[in-house]
Amino acid sequence: MSFWAALACTVVIEVYVLRRLRFDWTIVAIALAGTILCVDYLTYTSFEERNWDATAQIAYIRTIAEHLRLPDVYDCTPCGHPPLYYALGALWSRVVLAHDWMPLEQGLQWLSLLLFFGFFVFALLIFRSCISRPATLRLAALLLAFWPYSIINSVRVHNDVLASLLMLAAMHYLARWDKMERSRDFYAALVASALSLLTKASGYTVATALVFFTVVRLFSKGFRRADTTRFASAILVLAAVAVLAVGFRESRRPTNLCQKVLGHACDGRYVPPVRDTPRRFLSFDARAFVRSAETQANDPFLNRLAKSSLFGMKMLGGDFDSKRHEALATLMSVLLLAMLAVCLAGLPLVRGAHVQKYRVYFSVAVMMLLFLVAFRVRAPNGLHEDFRHIFPALVPFCLGYALVVDRLGRCTKVLYYVGVAIALLMVVSSVIFFVR
């Protein structure tokens, strides 16, 4: 009963926030329907199914909550991560979950659900800033809310939920600053980037993007005093926070520089079954991608990344072993390839002012992909090919697909309806796949 009371509070919060931000009732309905599906998924799967190290994640939180100290880097698998998410989880357990009115595991899943809603709100703000037609905005919102990996990530007990929120917030404010040149947006992006560095090493992507666009603005505007101040602020703040994040990884055992920056990812426990070559990272086997519902160890990097963008790198558990789920997984794999084809077909329609308008979103998405490849090369591990490390890149993808479909509709209604049908079929397939 306690969890259902928490769910009722969540619904009230979502309605209030979205209406306060002046989103219409259709968007509110999409958000609530997505939340209900995520909660349904939560009720019939265990938190350990959704991420194999969930117990260790909770142990990290308990250490802070009960002993008011950080664990040693080698006390648990995630103990090499910066502590912001775990400190938030500890505070949540001590304040919101006080008097044990809800089990800690459920309470942390509720926290994840709220953080994912924050992620969804920032995505909606990005969509609205780039989309003029309500129907196109709703299409992008539907895709994000019911994307298979969105449902999986929404209730995971993992620092990815906070890292994704902060990275997307940084992307949102960076784009606003690039468009409107307001200092408050720049500093909001700087704060979000700094906090993401204190959550997970994935935050280096948005921190790099912030510095990159600050340098671009510095040179393009002729070294104005305000731009120079922003550049110096970004360098000083992000460098200080990066040093602080590294300092949190001190251990009784000696660690090298890679372990201090990336944590246990650099322990070198894993040897890839296939030797890393350029072909492994650049090739894509469409037939194998469609044929298998799971990632295979011998698959090329792009196969594993694309498949993990749907279902993650780990098996979803016995609840998804049926022939129906296998058929739906195959269908969604085909639909993802169709969506990518639509986006590629729409590239010629993007030119001039459109590139300028969307450049931050798609530049950051490309940076995330490049950082993931570099991370995978430096720290070989099958789990380092997981899309969850760059989950915020899903927002520019949904945005790009909705915009391409919208522009194709100006050429011919047939292409528009085909694009909408592909998206809606993906949404329906995902709902059928996850609903109990």
Our measurement of the distance from residue 203's CA atom to the centroid of its chain's CA atoms, rounded to an integer in Å, reads: 11
Which residues in the chain show pLDDT less than 50? 353
Task: Say if CB 384 and CB 416 are below 8 A apart.
Answer: no
Q: Residue 284: left if φ>0, alpha if ψ -120 to 50, beta else—which one?
A: beta
Would you state the pLDDT for residue 221?
A: 82
Q: What's the pLDDT tens digit per position in 195-215? A: 999 999 999 999 999 999 999
Calculate the alpha carbon distances from 412 to 102, 113, 188, 399, 417 in Å: 54, 40, 41, 20, 9
So what's the pLDDT on residue 409? 86
Quick check: 15 and 118 in contact, CB under 8 A?
A: no
The answer for residues whose C-beta is within 8 angstroms of residue 289's C-beta and 6 or more apart is: 299, 303, 306, 307, 333, 337
> How far apart are alpha carbons 388 and 381 in whole angstroms?
14
Cα dihedral: 342, 303, 117, 172 (round 10)? -60
For position 252, what pLDDT does the model report? Answer: 65
Contacts of 294 (CB under 8 A, 6+ apart): 307, 311, 315
Token pair recorded at residue 150: 């969105």
Can you give the pLDDT at residue 314?
72
Q: Which residues touch 107 (CB under 8 Å, ≥6 apart)?
A: 6, 92, 93, 96, 97
Q: How far is residue 210's CA from residue 364's CA, in Å, rounded to a whole number?
A: 9
- What are the CA-CA distances from residue 375 to residues 109, 168, 262, 370 (Å)? 28, 20, 9, 9
Distance of alpha carbon 191 from alpha carbon 347, whole angstroms: 33
Take residue 153 and report the two structure tokens written for it: 């990530």
Q: Measured between alpha carbons, how far is 325 from 343 in angstroms, rounded to an integer?
A: 27
| CA-derived radius of gyration, the chain | 21
In the chain, the largest separation of any two C-alpha atoms, in whole Å, equals: 65
C-beta of residue 48 within 8 angstroms of C-beta of residue 55: yes
Q: How far is CA 289 from CA 30, 208, 273, 285, in A?
A: 30, 32, 18, 6
* Distances in whole angstroms, Cα of residue 324 to Cα of each of 37, 321, 376, 380: 18, 8, 33, 34
What is the identity of the amino acid at 184? Answer: R
Q: CA angle, 303 as apex, 297 and 309 as ends, to 5°?
A: 105
pLDDT in tens, 362-392: 999 999 999 999 998 888 877 888 999 999 9
